[in-house]
Amino acid sequence: MGNLFENVYIQTAAYYSVSVLAIIVFLAVFEIVTKYNNWEEIKKGNIAVALATGGKIFGVANIFRYSILHNDSLLEMLGWGVVGFILLLLCYFMFEFLTPSFKVDDEIANDNRAVGFIAMTISIALSYIIGASIMSA
Measured from the Cβ of residue 28, the count of other Cβ atoms closer than 10 Å reads 10
The total number of structural domains that make up the chain = 1
Nearest to 62 by CA among 41, 39, 80, 44: 80
Q: What is the pLDDT of residues 10-61, one digit of tens each?
A: 889 999 999 999 999 999 999 999 999 999 999 999 999 999 999 999 999 9
Distance CA 94, CA 91 (A): 5
Question: How far from the centroid of its chain's Cα atoms is residue 26's Cα?
Answer: 7
Domain that holds residue 65: 2-136
The whole-model pTM stands at 0.89
